[in-house]
Structure 1
Amino acid sequence: MSNFDVGVMISRRVFGDCLRETSPYESLALYDEGGRKEGFSPVFFTIDQIRFADWTVNGVIRDGTGCFRWKRVPLPRLIHNRIKPMIHTPALTRLQRWPGTTLFNGENRLDKWRVDRILRKNPDLAQRLPETALASQEEMIRLLDTYGSVYVKPRDRSLGLGILRVDRVGKTGKVKVVEANGSRGEIGSLSSFCKIFRVVGKRPFYLIQQAIPLVEEDGCPVDLRVTVQRDGTGEWQVSGMVAKKGLRYGIVTNVAAGGVAVKIDPVLKTAFPDSERREQVRKHVVETAVAAARQLSRKVPYLADLGMDIGVDREGNVWIIEVNGRDLRITFRHAKELEIWRDTFHKPMQYAAYLLNHTKRAAGSDTAFLTPGSLRMKGKRSGSVETAVRHLAEALSKNDTVYVIGKGVADLGEAMGIEVRSPNTRGYLEGALGELKRLSPRWVQVENRPTFVPHVKRICPDAKVVLSLHSDRYLMPPHLETKKRARFLSICDGVLTNSQFLKNRLLRWVPELEGRVKTLPLGVDLKRFLPREDPLSMERRKRMRKRWGIRESDRLLLFVGRWIPQKGIHHLLKALPKIIQHESNIRLVIVGGSHYGKNLETHYVRYVKKLAKPLGDIVSWMPFIPHMDIPKCYAAADLLVVPSTGSEAFGLVNLEGMASSLPVVSVRTGGIPEVVEDGKTGILVDPAPQHLPKALADACSRLLSDPDKMKDMGKNGQKRAEQFGWSHVAEQWVRLRSDWEKTRFHVQLSDLGVKRFC
């Protein structure tokens, strides 16, 4: 390894003291000592000393005489981040995106609410977390009623700053507020106190947390500072523990708030005289801290050092009070635990050596999904591409390491989300390429963006790059010139299509792709889209019909999809009067919007609403329903109508309806016939626009007049949907990957004339 492979980035405020060796927080000598044991000499610098024009840094290195000297060197491949800016600076953001460098501990300002949500996903850790809620007067009342005392703390501040304890005063309706140092404010009304709650943007600034009765020493509250770091094996280890003793009557133990750091053994001995009980508590603290670090690092990439505040109550139960994105090792120096203090500097250097030695070896075991980055992975502003990636990644991550690069990628089950934010496509792609360079995955699946592929091939030359197409839209102008289509597709190691229809179309355009194009259908979440007879589904039906003002005797037709001409809403509205002639108790609910998550009144939306106006309250428009809530809509319906006139590559709505035991009336176009079995799970009609309204009306009327047929089709559809469960789709994906592993295609990227990003 090179002498300049590893850097340590230190804040401007303490860097001068570090050079004079007077800083109580950092020791360049101890970092250097740890690095030299691993075979390298780290470079020390501040973020201001990076020259982004040529990606070099004017840093400090320790020479053979033990003196520090300045030297301009290439920006190190690995940087241990020790800065914690109040806000994300442009320079830090740029550094995080630079593909030539891995910044571990790059995101060390951890939001307490996000940390709580991540840790709570682990059932064992959830039992060790105080109940926590976003601050509001309603939550304050609820938690005070439950626990009598709560803590109010800012979401993103540390060192005990801004923390208050609120105690209920009997049944008077008043509260007592205790400040960090134990001084007591006036007793007052709860509503007056709640005025401190404020919102930054749409984000509550404070949390409310259950108060834990900590063990005490001499009437002072005591908790533990536990430093957890990755070591030379890449695994999380507890580097050391000290006790923090707060002021008498104080509510926090932080040194910055008047507390003191002391050795842990005397404190535990006082609290738990029985040696066996004491060792049990210590063991539980270590296990809890390591488990929390592992859980958190699954969702926050490149973590390497954590400082945890662990509380032990009077019964010996262990609680995770707070997790800091830096180890806050100064407490060990205060407690005169100098060997632990030294070890906390060595551990990051050991981890850096591990990363340098294992980057190439680890490459090849991971899979990365590169999403388009235009929509969030969850919520109302999510599309079918994001839904498919989310479920497939969650299923695959049970047996493999899976990364998902995109927007809004938190909470992806076992998969690790890599957030890339940018207001434009170029910025997003540059950030995504930087992440791929760091991850060095064996497989990269590019979702629905053919023009991303050559850039990915350049940045990950040893990876298999697969293009997953959900439609042919991005193979058409203006997204891709027709004459370039074959060249862009030919550089892919594989191409996935979600239907045989789309595969056949590709092969007509580019016959030489034969053998390289595979079909992988979209899936459906069988735990959310439930059959009609399921008790939860029946409850959903009752609740949604009541909300929509629909009687049980009404026959509810459902449309789900975007409000655009290709989805055929106008054909359905033209068919509705004919359906009403046969069945008078008809209602139609149209769910969706003109854009993902937006209710824009486009020309087409105005047109179809004008068509619906004579039908009165028979037609209801339901925009802005997140995909997570869509199963409730299917449960309320009797018949799903999907009148798409475009060449639908797959038609996911049909599959979701079938999983919900709904018979389907759809159109014989695109990949829809591969999902809906005509006459068995639904009825497919001819797509000719001039005949479509009549065909839809006839098919719907025929089914509505035969309830037994509808029931049979619903059962058949639900049974067929089981073949499309995400676990089955994941198994097919693994088999296809195995097929592609046996082949390799020579690609000349220079022939594409694509501008190099990195």
Structure 2
Amino acid sequence: MHICFITNEYPKLDFPHGGIGTFIHTISHKLVEKGHRVSVIGINSYTFTDEKEQDGDVFVHRLRPKIVKGLTWYFNNQLINKKLTEIHNQSPIDIVETSELGLAFIKKIKPIKYMIRLHGGHHFFAEAEHRKVSWWKGFQEKRSFKRADAFSAASQYVKSHTAKYLSYHNKPLEIIKFPINLNVFKPQLTTKVKKNSLLFAGTVCEKKGVEQLLKAMPKVLEHNENIQLYIYGRDWFFSDGRSYIEYLKKDVLPILGESANHVHFMGAISFIDLANKYAASEICIFPSLMETLGLVAPEAMAMNKLVIFSECGPGPEIIVHKKTGLLCNPYDIDDISNQIIWALNHEKECKVIAKNGMEYVLSNFEIETITQKNIDFYNTILNTPN
């Protein structure tokens, strides 16, 4: 089988990337290991050039973007369509997979089947970010969904929440979790844990609940003046180009008083380095306002770490409160601080909770099983009449 992912997110060495990139990288290499061919096509978001990279046996095509005021979307989709046709002519593609908006302007080629994997689209996140749906992006997403042959969702929540806004048109739909690379994210028995250290990882943006986490710090520090919060992740930018991290530093940290000295922005790091940071942290906290699944929580859980995750969205699908982790209300600053304080006060209980969380992830996010579920679903799509 030849699977082609359309995404700009495939990781490039020495550049930051997010959860989608981690997922595509992980699943691509496992598919190749199982004898399938994988290609990746995307507009180059790293450098302003055409690049062809062979990452192991994964073939990555990063296309030089064409910037034309008002028509960039058109010309960039033309580039992707041209590359798709070229690759298909060389080695016939069976499945094209992309995210929610990805099929809006893709020229469909028979007999290729086209699948959307729900990573959290424009409609999905509009509610969490308290913004109106853009008519243009909304149009693209609806058009893309009409053109899809099948859909995959990482959680029941993203499936049902997306259905509030968009139709699946009675096409095949499967819930398949994102896999965790358990060769990387595993307990590190020799790593020394930094006492009183909190870790946040993820894109530093509004929907990840970073601002609320910062505002919870004064109350936590009243309980324990030695707490340090380390924030790992790439920056996010407002539509006017302003940095979200700079916003936090200039507008949020100053109101925290002395607590601001206990907050450290560490920047984006590789997932290998991130595993080491998880291992060295006492508590990992991810108070997201909205997620499709959230890879960081199960990654940290796989490393036998106590995780505080959001009770919103798919949080309860991943964590049973005080059994496999802790859940917090990310909109309630007091609840965020109370969960951290509870964890600091209940070290013995948290060790049991962390162990339960690790066992849950080992049973439910194992890459071999999840990869096979994807392969089985691809075969279902291929055998479904148009």
TM-score by length of 2: 0.83
Equivalent residue letter for 1:443: D
Aligned to 1:509: 165
Aligned to 1:619: 263
Indicate conservation of the 8 Å contact 2:17/2:234, yes or no: no
Equivalent residue letter for 2:350: M
Task: Mark the structure with the bigger radius of gyration.
Answer: 1
Equivalent residue letter for 2:64: R
SS in 1 for 2:264: strand
- Are residues 1:668 and 2:308 paired? no
Supply the distance in 1 between the matched residues of 2:136 and 2:305 (Cα, whole angstroms). 38
Equivalent residue letter for 2:111: D
* 1:649 pairs with one of 283, 292, 298: 292
SS in 2 for 1:430: helix
For 1:314-333, list aligned pairs within 5 A. none
* 1:738 pairs with one of 368, 379, 385: 379
The CA deviation at 1:564 is: 2.0
Aligned to 1:461: 110
Aligned to 1:710: 350
The CA deviation at 1:504 is: 0.9
Equivalent residue letter for 1:560: A
The CA deviation at 1:693 is: 1.2
The CA deviation at 1:557 is: 0.8
Indicate conservation of the 8 Å contact 1:375/1:383, yes or no: no
Deviations 1:128-147, CA, capped at 9 Å, x for gaps: xxxxxxxxxxxxxxxxxxxx
Change (3 A) 1:461 1:515: closer
Indicate conservation of the 8 Å contact 1:446/1:453, yes or no: no
Supply the distance in 2 between the matched residues of 1:502 and 1:580 (Cα, whole angstroms). 35
- Are residues 1:639 and 2:283 paired? yes
Supply the distance in 2 between the matched residues of 1:479 and 1:531 (Cα, whole angstroms). 46
Supply the distance in 2 between the matched residues of 1:739 and 1:528 (Cα, whole angstroms). 31
More strand per residue: 1 or 2? 1
Aligned to 1:68: none
For 1:539-550, list aligned pairs within 5 A. 541=192
Equivalent residue letter for 2:326: I
For 1:290-301, list aligned pairs within 5 A. none
For 1:492-507, list aligned pairs within 5 A. 492-507=148-163
* 2:122 pairs with one of 470, 473, 476: 473
Aligned to 2:212: 571
Change (3 A) 1:439 1:593: closer
Structure 2 segments unaligned to the other structure (5+ residues): 45-50, 68-72, 127-132
Supply the distance in 1 between the matched residues of 2:222 and 2:246 (Cα, whole angstroms). 31
Supply the distance in 1 between the matched residues of 2:22 and 2:217 (Cα, whole angstroms). 31
Change (3 A) 1:480 1:524: farther
Change (3 A) 1:409 1:394: farther
SS in 1 for 2:144: helix
For 1:38-117, list aligned pairs within 5 A. none
TM-score by length of 1: 0.44
For 1:404-415, list aligned pairs within 5 A. 404-406=40-42, 407=44, 410=53, 412-415=55-58
- Are residues 1:659 and 2:302 paired? yes
For 1:738-757, list aligned pairs within 5 A. 738-745=379-386
Indicate conservation of the 8 Å contact 1:448/1:474, yes or no: no
- Are residues 1:609 and 2:253 paired? yes
For 1:32-43, list aligned pairs within 5 A. none
Supply the distance in 2 between the matched residues of 1:599 and 1:711 (Cα, whole angstroms). 41
Aligned to 2:340: 700
Change (3 A) 1:514 1:610: farther
Q: Which has the higher contact order (CA 8 A, sep 6+)?
A: 2
Identity of aligned residues (%): 21
Aligned to 1:591: 232
Indicate conservation of the 8 Å contact 1:558/1:641, yes or no: yes
The CA deviation at 1:643 is: 1.4
SS in 2 for 1:450: coil
Aligned to 1:267: none
* 2:64 pairs with one of 410, 413, 421: 421
SS in 2 for 1:744: coil
Structure 1 segments unaligned to the other structure (5+ residues): 1-364, 543-551, 746-758
Aligned length: 358
Supply the distance in 1 between the matched residues of 2:154 and 2:60 (Cα, whole angstroms). 23
Equivalent residue letter for 2:110: P
Indicate conservation of the 8 Å contact 2:5/2:41, yes or no: yes
The CA deviation at 1:528 is: 1.3
Supply the distance in 1 between the matched residues of 2:361 and 2:279 (Cα, whole angstroms). 15
Supply the distance in 1 between the matched residues of 2:18 and 2:302 (Cα, whole angstroms). 19
SS in 2 for 1:468: strand
* 2:144 pairs with one of 459, 476, 488: 488
Aligned to 2:23: 388
* 1:436 pairs with one of 73, 84, 93: 84
Supply the distance in 2 between the matched residues of 1:428 and 1:397 (Cα, whole angstroms). 28
Supply the distance in 2 between the matched residues of 1:584 and 1:414 (Cα, whole angstroms). 50
The CA deviation at 1:464 is: 0.4
For 1:177-188, list aligned pairs within 5 A. none
The CA deviation at 1:611 is: 3.9
Change (3 A) 1:428 1:481: closer
Supply the distance in 1 between the matched residues of 2:123 and 2:187 (Cα, whole angstroms). 35
The CA deviation at 1:711 is: 1.2
Change (3 A) 1:409 1:627: farther
Supply the distance in 1 between the matched residues of 2:340 and 2:22 (Cα, whole angstroms). 29
Deviations 1:515-553, CA, capped at 9 Å, x for gaps: 5222222222111112142x4xx1xx47xxxxxxxxx4x
Equivalent residue letter for 1:706: H
Indicate conservation of the 8 Å contact 1:593/1:623, yes or no: yes
* 2:101 pairs with one of 447, 450, 455: 450
Change (3 A) 1:392 1:374: closer
